[in-house]
Amino acid sequence: MNLAAQVKEAAAKAIENLYKLPAFADDISVNLTKPEFEGDYTIVLFGLVKKLKVAPESLGTAIGDYIIANNASLFKSYNIIKGFLNLVVADEYFTDFLFEVEKKGLTPSNTTGKKVIVEYSSPNTNKPLHLGHLRNNFLGWSLAEILKASGNEVTKTCVVNDRGIHICKSMIAWELFADNATPESAAIKGDHFVGDYYVRFNDEYKKEINDLVAAGETAEAAEKKAPIMQRTQKMLLDWEAGEPEVRDLWKRMNGWVYKGFDETYQRIGSNFNKVYYESETYLLGKEFVEKGLAQGVFFRKEDGSVWIDLTAEGLDEKLVLRKDGTSVYITQDLGLAQEKYDDFQYDQSIYVIADEQNYHMKVLKLILQKLGKPYADGIFHLSYGMVELPSGRMKSREGTVVDADDIINEMTTEAEKKTKEHSKIEDFSETELAQLYEMIGIGALKYFLLRVDPKKKMIFNPEESIEFYGFTGPFIQYTHARIKSILRKAATENIAPSLSQQALLPLEKNVIVMLEQYDMMIAQAASEYNPSVIAVYVYNLAKAFNTFYTEHSVMNAETVEKKKLRLALCTATATVIASVMQLLGIKVPERM
């Protein structure tokens, strides 16, 4: 049990015994004590004052006296500042904590025990992954790992949008302009190759529209009459009819894209336990419509289309089946939600989708609830803000999107430049250097995208993200490498970390207090579905360690016992940094 939980338990017992009232630990608010006050953990008294009708000073004194009297080995003193009871934790607790980490390692103690599905990535097969996909993948993968660490059974899933008019646009452009070229013959990665033809389609489409407008057509009529668009719409109908030549080309071009996706996923460390394809799921959900009509959840309009009225919920009427009997996206998602439940019997299904789809996800959950589906309440939309560049928003059809591979290459190149500026790399082999640059470059990219609360829009600045000092991934990686260097030096001198009970200096204690929060931070990140919680935590830990190390020598400590304690502190800090960074999907180097 982490220290914050122990403080809550101690406060709950104090209230039960002093005031003869049941108290639940989870209802008691506990924070870290503010730096300007003496103490380590603070019990917020205001809510208890209301409930118990006791003055804050009297309540704080009573609870503080009880906790000290009954937990003498854990707490050594307290003070009260207005409505806050600040508890000072005994140094022995923290040295014992270091000993446990050294002896047993570190694993989160949370045991939520739910079956959870995390769906992320959701690419289209008409273009390569881009910067927005990177934030999506990093969020989804990291959240899945955090939930796993919290004791859940987690399944990572991906839905590939592999059919529809957008895919046909790339196919038509390839037929018109490729002259049977392939990714191999063009020496271009498969997803980039297909994406180039998607851009080519839109260039040609604009040209044809302009020509028709110049010939006297209205812009609206020109958009419909453009020969390339008419040909594309026919191809979509042929695909849905199963026309063999169209299906063969579709499989061939999608195969090129999947190969490209797999290379990118492998490079960024993203993976899935199950992949669903829209071409296999787009007909799902129609049975929902019939059942929903019978239940009175849906209604049919005169033209034959089927709708749901959500005006009572503050939304509007939503189409669920077109008049020609074809499904819309919400219908497909209804069917897919059922299929995922049939496959995994989940307690919770988390959709990592940009905030542009907030309305869609509200509608999906509402419809499933109205249909009485047992899994409806477990649907959660992790809505995240879009990623923009300093130059503004990206547009894929205009070819202004920053492709994931391009930004990764840029980051790796910049990592090489920064490493040569800041590190001694003469004893690294070429292979080791290539691995190090990739580790730093991708680590910087992931950390920059994950350190921001998912709900916020963000601007990605490559130059800022790769700095070796400041709120960045390379700073944390450099701290880990620095600690490992200290431990290697200690090993050559046959000095093993070990502990004896001794007074802690303020900067030593500050680091150990932060180390002890590891368990609590993992639990908070899991409960809030927010990897930025641990991203900020691990940065603050690295910063605290560097502050300590600037002031206090490890290898030239005042005494042998102090040296051993600081080596144990180094070991525990490196362990926590590596563990948290792994949950963020970031590797940390042994040397740098």
Model pLDDT for residues 213-268, shown as the tens digit of each residue: 999 999 999 999 999 999 999 999 999 999 999 999 999 999 999 999 999 999 99
Run of H or E residues at 42: strand 41-44
Choose one of 371, 398, 425: the last residue of a domain.
398
What is the share, in percent, of the chain residues with pLDDT greater than 90?
83
123 and 67 share a domain? Answer: no
Where would I find the beta strands (DSSP E) of 173-287?
274-277
What is the share, in percent, of the chain residues with pLDDT greater than 70?
98
Signed CA dihedral, 66, 67, 71, 75: sign only = negative
Distance CA 535, CA 524 (A): 12
Distance CA 227, CA 217 (A): 14
pLDDT score of 159? 97
Question: For 179, left (φ over 0), alpha (ψ -120 to 50), or beta?
Answer: left
Inform me whether the pLDDT recorded for 391 exceeds 80.
no
pLDDT band at 400; cut points 50, 70, 90: low
In a domain, 156, yes or no: yes
pLDDT score of 399? 46
441 and 530 share a domain? Answer: yes
Signed CA dihedral, 357, 362, 363, 365: sign only = positive
User: For the ranges 12-16, 93-97, 255-259, 582-586, which has the lowest average pLDDT?
Assistant: 93-97
- If you count DSSP H runs as helices and E runs as strands, how many of each does the chain have, helices first? 23, 14
pLDDT band at 110; cut points 50, 70, 90: low
Inform me whether the pLDDT recorded for 462 exceeds 90.
no
pLDDT in tens, 515-547: 999 999 999 999 999 999 999 999 999 999 999
User: For the ranges 79-83, 140-144, 446-450, 462-466, which has the lowest average pLDDT?
Assistant: 462-466
147 and 230 share a domain? Answer: yes
pLDDT band at 284; cut points 50, 70, 90: confident
386 and 410 share a domain? Answer: no
pLDDT score of 389? 78
CATH number of the domain residue 474 falls in = 1.10.730.10
Q: Return the DSSP state at 503.
A: P
Distance CA 108, CA 163 (A): 42
Inform me whether the pLDDT recorded for 186 exceeds 80.
yes
Mean pLDDT of the chain: 93
Run of H or E residues at 350: strand 348-354
Give the chain's length: 592
Inform me whether the pLDDT recorded for 394 exceeds 50.
no
Task: State whether residue 159 is helix, strand or coil.
Answer: strand
> Dihedral through CA 299, CA 364, CA 455, CA 404, nearest 10?
-120
In a domain, 255, yes or no: yes
pTM: predicted TM-score of the whole model, two decimal places: 0.92
pLDDT score of 392? 53
**How many domains does the chain fold into?**
4
Domain enclosing residue 266, as ranges: 115-289+333-398
Distance CA 408, CA 414 (A): 10
510 and 437 share a domain? Answer: yes
Identify the residue with better confidence: 220 or 109: 220
Distance CA 557, CA 503 (A): 14
Burial (Cβ within 10 Å: 0-12, 13-18, ≥19) of residue 423: middle
56 and 188 share a domain? Answer: no
pLDDT in tens, 295-341: 999 999 999 999 999 999 999 999 999 998 888 899 999 999 999 99
pLDDT in tens, 53-66: 999 999 999 999 99
350 and 318 share a domain? Answer: no
In a domain, 229, yes or no: yes
Distance CA 208, CA 141 (A): 43
Distance CA 486, CA 498 (A): 15
Burial (Cβ within 10 Å: 0-12, 13-18, ≥19) of residue 136: buried
pLDDT score of 69? 96
- Beta-carbon contacts of residue 285 (< 8 Å; ≥ 6 apart): 327, 331, 332, 333, 334, 335, 336, 338
Six-digit token pair at 285?
Answer: 């959900």
73 and 172 share a domain? Answer: no
Six-digit token pair at 240?
Answer: 């849905």
Identify the residue with better confidence: 477 or 497: 477
515 and 538 share a domain? Answer: yes
In a domain, 487, yes or no: yes
CATH number of the domain residue 43 falls in = 3.30.1360.70
Most confident of 11-15, 399-403, 493-497: 11-15
In a domain, 102, yes or no: no
In a domain, 106, yes or no: no
What crossing angle do the helices spanning 560-583 and 506-516 adopt, rounded to 10°?
Answer: 30
Alpha carbon of residue 520 to chain centroid:
18
pLDDT in tens, 123-158: 999 999 999 999 999 999 999 999 999 999 999 999
In a domain, 283, yes or no: yes
Per-residue burial over 454-480, b if 16 or more Cβ lie within 10 Å, else e, is beeebebebeebbbbeebbbbbbbbbb
Inform me whether the pLDDT recorded for 398 exceeds 50.
no
146 and 192 share a domain? Answer: yes
Q: Return the DSSP state at 552.
A: S
Residue type, 160: V
In a domain, 311, yes or no: yes
φ, ψ at 276 (rounded to 5°): -105, 145
Inform me whether the pLDDT recorded for 559 exceeds 60.
yes
pLDDT in tens, 433-444: 999 999 999 999
Inform me whether the pLDDT recorded for 290 exceeds 50.
yes
pLDDT score of 99? 83
Choose one of 398, 432, 452: the last residue of a domain.
398
Alpha carbon of residue 370 to chain centroid:
30
Task: State whether residue 222 is helix, strand or coil.
Answer: helix
Mean pLDDT value of segment 444-462: 94
- Beta-carbon contacts of residue 242 (< 8 Å; ≥ 6 apart): none
Q: For residue 107, what are the CA distances in angstroms to 212, 515, 519, 522, 587?
A: 66, 12, 8, 10, 18
176 and 229 share a domain? Answer: yes
pLDDT in tens, 354-363: 999 999 999 9
315 and 339 share a domain? Answer: no
Choose one of 326, 342, 373: the last residue of a domain.
326
pLDDT in tens, 71-104: 999 999 999 999 999 999 999 999 988 888 877 7
pLDDT score of 542? 98
Burial (Cβ within 10 Å: 0-12, 13-18, ≥19) of residue 319: middle
CB half-sphere exposure, 576, CA atoms < 13 A: 31
